[in-house]
Structure 1
């Protein structure tokens, strides 16, 4: 793997936290994600199950994690099952984890690491002793799952072979654990952010009228790979002109024209943690007065939103407060009148007037997934990591501006994880003109 793995103590501690949430006699079984086919003999790149990685540190396909903390046999309390490597696999695909390597990565005893052909035997032994079985599913509110996953196939198998067992949902427990980040996780995300900042600074020196959006995307991935990142955290948005008003624009095939803004929403994936940055820059290096006014309105909203994020806040209520603030900014920009704001509120309170120009949420959780575990009804606690990403999109003017940083909730409020990322109009213009930033960037990843 390219990235430096976190210490095994991080994953062992995560398992211990899970055990505190389990009733006596519980068995937990998690599977790696599938390697999904494309066409002919092609496959998509492997992406590990976030939950399995969180509890084991193993980043390899066909892995199974079996946790039975109350097992009478101590060797069965934590077990990992791996795809057995061979000379053929080594020649065609490269080396796979040995048992000792998996033990070193996870903190699970080497004697409890087995090849997959041993799983059925241990699985039956554990099932016959367990009082309840926790199985995993994707319970993200945003998810649309149209394929039968490895986890879903295993649930069907369990229910067929052991129909009288009591099955429980693991997802709620994992969400509760993963939403609060350990210090090592914050450090991992900082490393991904450092690489992302390096890419953004590279882009500021590259963009000029006439470049293609996909050329800008190429600059991103060049910098990511150069610093050992796994790649893009998500499909990057490189939207110039009117394309910046398309929230999930990922075609990235247009020319960046003189006088247009370029919206960049991207981030590096490093150590399975995802950075998420958005900046909106002028293609020719100088904001027009109107672009500057819109940008600064979004920047003021961004900073106001950060002031609101603190322990005890509910994201849904926070979003409403941010909406009220951006509404005032839209009035100043002469995009709304107070009469329109009042009329919209009287007509349908769930559809305030500002949503014409700011139609998405301000924050989402971030971590092992870009849209990490958590929902808008939960209250914030120290250790949660969120984005702050307000925007204003004026389709009739071809202006779309979004500004996004990642923050960690602290006891008193929040800390910006992107403190040196260029954000001010003047700073961006100076850097695009070849000058030096007033703040030094962290060009290389932070060492653990």
Structure 2
């Protein structure tokens, strides 16, 4: 941050559904990352150069009372907030404007928090959005700066505590996947499989899925964001499972493709092994200094080679390909890796080299609508200072023999 500047971070709103119904509260990841506070109507102000030491870190919270405690459960007290965050100076929200005015008279620049993730596309106005409008109108003479680039760099490199939480999320996903392998058979419904996952996640202290799960049998696997999960699984089909648990707000992101009947056909094995080979080779490239864009070009070359082997492409397809949409994209149209952490598609500046302790997914796929199946395999890996990345999902079955053995045990 610039000298004589402060930064402000707001919690998320509780979003309405209709009548008096609301969605379950999900904390804004930035204020959670910086403070550990996981409740609505909270504000964090960071002011490193504040003249008064007590104002260098400030939390504003809704004042709890007996009525709130009875109807909703008690909110954080000031002592609780210190235990959670380590921040000594805690004010109630009713004092926000008065205290904020005082610190704003002592600073020159205010860092405002916006969402600049490359996939962000939200129409809903957030609490941060409303605060930015109010702050600019109330304090027009202050310089404005962006908190987001700083946060992207901070959040993309994981602390050992964060890696432990992500490992826990992956371990819960492992248990849920193994339960599913023993449950699946011809005739089950996709939503029943979802229920098996959810049961195992909840009983292991996860809140459930880190993202909307994909349980895609047969040709449903060729719809990349198929989330209806309402079809019956038929003998001979494959099921693409994109299903990761959350734990303590941290995400896991797993993809596996399994046979409804417990055995892969020869053709399914052939394609599966090609996807698995690309995944293994791509994983080796996730080392410090790798550029995300160049990495995807190289993975495209690996996939092209496999598609030629499978007879899905021929040399003419590759020689005549459009550089902006290479031939392999017909069968593998999405990216191979994204940052993961507090968000499933987490923060990280993609134009900067990869660093140790960043966590990426690796998720190649081959999608064959004409053959009635699609295969995607995905793990979450931590970039190491030296050597190959560490696979947080290294214990989750992925090889054909492992999966068939469990399903037929």
Does the alignment reach a TM-score above 0.5?
A: yes
Tell me how far 1:378 sits from its aligned partner: 2.3
For 1:244-259, list aligned pairs within 5 A. Answer: 244-259=221-236
The equivalent residue for 1:108 is 87
The 5 A counterparts of 1:74-93 are: 74-93=53-72
Name 1:276's counterpart in structure 2: 253
Shift of residue 418, structure 1, vs aligned partner: 1.1
| 1:60 and 2:35 are equivalent in the alignment | no
> What is the distance in 1 between the residues matched to 2:352 and 2:361?
15
TM-score in terms of structure 2 length: 0.98
Query: Which of 150, 166, 173 pairs up with 1:189?
Result: 166
> Structure 2 CA distance, aligned partners of 1:248 and 1:378?
28
Q: Which residue of 1 aligns with 2:407?
A: 432
Matched, 1:225 2:199: no
Distance 2:284 2:7 in 1: 40
Which segments of 5 or more consecutive residues in structure 2 lack a partner in the other structure? Answer: none
The aligned counterpart of 1:352 is 326
Residue 304 in structure 1 maps to residue 281 in structure 2: yes
Structure-2 separation of matches of 1:362 and 1:137: 26
Match of 1:169 in 2: 146
Give CA-to-partner distance per residue, 1:3-26, whole Å, 9 cap, x none.
xxxxxxxxxxxxxxxxxxx12111
SS in 2 for 1:64: strand
Per-residue Cα deviation, 1:345-375 (whole angstroms, up to 9, x for no partner): xxx2111100000000000000010000124
1:93-147 deviations in Å (ceiling 9; x for gaps): 11211111111010111xx112111111111001111111001011111011212
- Judge conservation of contact 2:153–2:349 (CA < 8 Å) in 1: no
- In the other structure, the counterpart of 1:209 is 186
Q: Secondary structure at the match of 1:339?
A: helix
> Deviation of residue 84 (structure 1)?
1.3
Query: How far did residue 376 of structure 1 move?
Result: 3.5
Match of 1:379 in 2: 353
Separation of aligned partners in 1, 2:41 and 2:47: 20
Query: Quick one: distance in 1 between partners of 2:91 and 2:245?
Result: 33
C-alpha separation between the residues in 2 aligned to 1:235 and 1:123? 38
In the alignment, the residues of structure 2 paired with residue 60 and residue 376 of structure 1 have an alpha-carbon distance, to the nearest angstrom, of 30
Structure 2 counterpart SS, 1:263: strand
Provide the TM-score with structure 1 as the length reference: 0.90
The equivalent residue for 2:125 is 148
Backbone CA RMSD of aligned residues: 0.9
CA offsets, 1:43-80, max 9 Å, x none? 11111111101110000011100111111111111111
State the 4+ residue runs in structure 1 displaced beyond 3 angstroms.
Answer: none
CA distance in 2, matches of 1:308, 1:159: 44
| SS of alignment partner, residue 142 of structure 1 | coil
Paired with 2:350 and 2:178, the residues of 1 have a C-alpha distance of 33
Deviations 1:360-411 (A, max 9, x none): 0000000010000124422111010000000000011111000000000011
Aligned counterpart for 2:21 among listed residues 39, 42, 50: 42
Any residues of structure 2 matched to 1:406-417 within 5 Å, and which?
406-412=380-386, 413-417=388-392
